[in-house]
Amino acid sequence: MTRQHGTLPSGLIFFNILNSKEDGNKRKRNCFNLRVFFRRNAFVVLTLTAVIVGVSLGFWLRTFDMGAQEILYVSFPGEVLMRVLQQMVLPLVLSSLIAGMSSLEKKVYSKIGLRALVYYVVTTVTAAFTGIALAAIIQPGKLSKKSEMSTTQNSDAQTVDSFLDLLRNMFPSNLVEACFQKYKTEYVSNENKVVLNMTEGRMINETIAVPGSSDGLNVLGLLVFCTAFGLVLGGMGSKGQPLRDFFTCLNLAIMKLINIVIWYSPVGILFLLAGQILKIDNLAHISRGVAMYTVSVIVGLFIHSFVTLPLIYFIIIRKNPFRFMIGLIQALTTAFGTSSSSATLPVTFYCMEDNHKMDKQVTRFMLPVGATMNMDGAALYEAVAALFIAQVNNIDFSIGQIIILSFIVTAASTGAAGIPQAGMVSMLIVLTSVGLPAEGISLLMLVDWLLDRLRTATNVLGDCIGVGVVQHLSRHELQTPAE
């Protein structure tokens, strides 16, 4: 039987409690359900309380004028949460992708893959256009003075190199290294070669590109390898069974571990937020332009999360999208607390598989891929940011340029995880590609701590709704539920 989804279990349970005409058996089940109901909701209430207490604690502690060292101590319990969550990511991604890809029929995974791809492209492009429309309507950049900007350097060559880095990272030369390092082109000045700059008539040192690396999981490389490996394993029939069992078992064990460590997340989120509030510089320094830009992004993320995505969910599944979203509260608050969709991935898995009983065959493939490549919030943010910088510099965009911008923003957000130090670089790529000055990024950095949190929550929501939609569309093919 296909699994039902889209209905929060606690919602069903609540309905059952109200129904008094039931036989003994059902009543017994209700007693059990009541306990589950309180357990689940206690967790959600705890997580939401953590956000409120964390922010309040932060503002209260601000009155004490703390130094950097003290702020570090306040955030420490949050740091532990980040470490624990990030620790789960590697085994989770490996096992879920290999177990997921190897358990599916060839025909099924190609259909799921295609549907996921269409969903990702459609939602990301919609997000980009939402951002473009808002920036055009609100025009935040018209309020800002150009003098507020400082310069950052970037050249076309660096944009090309970032793209090549993305491809290099897709094919890591060493899998063990891919677990902790990405390839990154670095630039050193070539001492032997000093060239004469003809236009300005002065001598400059030429920089050359050399291979380098940056710390962090090379998730794109692992994604490509695990998908290929899983597919091959799936095609091996009974010979591949031991390894399939191994990865399925690893995945189940990791999920059990996540079910335990997740209880620490309210504490971690509380202190992460308190620490963040302490770190904020004086808000009075933010100019009106930047404030309007922040508002544009927030309104855009709000529209995408509460109108566009729920509408897509409703049109396809015909169920209440907000009820679905209630089951995702833990994942969304964790995304807000950690501002990282990869660190949130364990919690996302928990919400989708435990709260919503989604088909593991879909989650195992779509959640890691979604966390890496589907970033609606980032696309929206980058679109608003690019237009904001264009407005600050009095550059008008034609319709053609706007369409190009939407494509570039979609591509940049999709590839972000493959580029080292992505946040900034991805934004720089967008700016240089549409011919905007790369200055002014420092202006955007002022409010990035808030916008990053919000867009991460949107990114995670987009991934989850995608799983719901793709599972619904693939329900006839997914007849045999995975363990």
Q: Which residues pair with 213 in a beta bridge?
A: 183
Q: Is 91 in the site for ligand 7O9 (CB under 6 A)?
A: no
Nearer to ligand 7O9, 8 or 408 (CB): 408
When asked if residue 374 is in the footprint of ligand 7O9 (CB under 6 A), the reply is no
Q: Any bridge partners for residue 323, and if so which?
A: none
Q: Provide the minimum distance between the beta carbon of 254 and ligand 7O9 in the complex, in angstroms, as a whole number.
A: 13
345 binds ligand 7O9 (CB under 6 A): yes
Q: Which residues pair with 205 in a beta bridge?
A: 194
Residue nearer to ligand 7O9 on the CB measure, 47 or 372: 372
Two tokens, residue 147: 């003098």
Binding segment for ligand 7O9 (CB under 6 A), chosen from 157-165, 197-205, 229-237, 417-425, is 417-425
The Cα-based distances of 479 to 1, 209, 231, 359 in angstroms read 6, 52, 19, 10
CB of 35 to ligand 7O9, least distance (A): 33
- Name the residue nearer to ligand 7O9 (CB basis): 129 or 336: 336
Instruction: Work out which of 417, 429, 430, 470 binds ligand 7O9, going by CB under 6 A.
Output: 417
Q: How far apart are CA 257 and CA 143, in angstroms?
A: 50
Cβ contacts of residue 60 below 8 Å, gap of 6+? none
Cα(266)–Cα(250) distance, integer angstroms: 26
**CA-wise closest residue to 55 among 298, 343, 290, 276:** 276
Tokens linked to 202: 């002065």
Nearer to ligand 7O9 among residue 265 and residue 339 (C-beta): 339
Least distance (Å) from ligand 7O9 to the CB of residue 37? Answer: 31
Q: Maximum distance among all alpha carbons in the chain?
A: 93
* Residue 123 sits in the site that holds ligand 7O9 (CB under 6 A): no
Render the burial of 242-267: b for 16+ CB within 10 Å, e for the rest: ebbeebbebbeebbebbeebbeebbb
CA-based end-to-end distance of the chain: 14
What's the closest the beta carbon of residue 477 comes to ligand 7O9, in angstroms? 25
Which amino acid type is present at position 373? M
CB of 275 to ligand 7O9, least distance (A): 17
As a whole number of angstroms, the distance between CA 461 and CA 419 comes to 23
Residue ranges in 194-223 that form contacts with ligand 7O9 under rule CB under 6 A? 217, 219
Q: Other C-beta atoms within 10 Å of 6: how many?
A: 21
Interface residue with ligand 7O9, options 258, 422, 428, 454 (CB under 6 A): 422
Task: Please say which residue, 129 or 349, places its beta carbon nearer to ligand 7O9.
Answer: 349
* CB of 33 or CB of 340, closer to ligand 7O9: 340
Residue 172 to residues 1, 337, 412, 413, 463: CA-CA distances in angstroms? 41, 31, 20, 21, 26
Residue 446 engages ligand 7O9 in binding (rule: CB under 6 A): no
Spatial contact of 432 and 156, defined as CB atoms under 8 Å apart: yes
According to the binding rule CB under 6 A, does residue 461 interact with ligand 7O9? no
Single-letter amino acid, residue 475: R
Piece in contact with ligand 7O9 (CB under 6 A), picked from 61-69, 168-176, 303-311, 366-374: 366-374
Nearer Cβ to ligand 7O9 (71/378) = 378
Place of tokens 């532990």: 80
At closest approach, how far in Å is the CB of 424 from ligand 7O9? Answer: 9
Is position 456 an interface residue for ligand 7O9 (rule: CB under 6 A)? yes
Considering only CA atoms, which of 469, 133, 449, 460 is closest in space to residue 305?
460
Q: Choose, by CB under 6 A, the member of 144, 276, 372, 433 that binds ligand 7O9.
A: 372
Q: How near is the Cβ of 425 to ligand 7O9 at its closest, in Å?
A: 9
Q: Is 93 in the site for ligand 7O9 (CB under 6 A)?
A: yes
d(CA 441, CA 393): 13
The angle at the Cα of 380, spanning 378 to 383, to the nearest 5 degrees, equals 105
Candidate residues 327, 377, 462, 468; the one interacting with ligand 7O9 per rule CB under 6 A: 377
Per CB under 6 A, does 423 bind ligand 7O9? yes
Q: Which helix (H) or strand (E) holds 433?
A: helix 422-433
Q: Tell me the window of 23-31, 354-362, 430-438, 450-458 that interacts with ligand 7O9 (CB under 6 A).
A: 450-458
- Contact between 371 and ligand 7O9 (CB under 6 A)? yes
For ligand 7O9 (CB under 6 A), the number of binding residues is 23
- If binding is defined by CB under 6 A, does position 342 make contact with ligand 7O9? yes
Q: Which of 428, 455, 467, 472 binds ligand 7O9 (CB under 6 A)?
A: 455
Question: Measured from the CB of residue 463, what is the shortest distance to ligand 7O9 in angstroms?
Answer: 9
441 binds ligand 7O9 (CB under 6 A): no
In 3D, which of 135, 184, 112, 125 has the Cα closest to residue 374? 125
User: Is residue 124 near ligand 7O9 by the rule CB under 6 A?
Assistant: no
In whole angstroms, give the CA distance from residue 378 to residue 266. 25
Q: Name the site residues for ligand 7O9 (rule: CB under 6 A).
A: 89, 93, 217, 219, 339-342, 345, 368, 371-372, 375, 377-378, 416-417, 422-423, 452, 455-456, 459
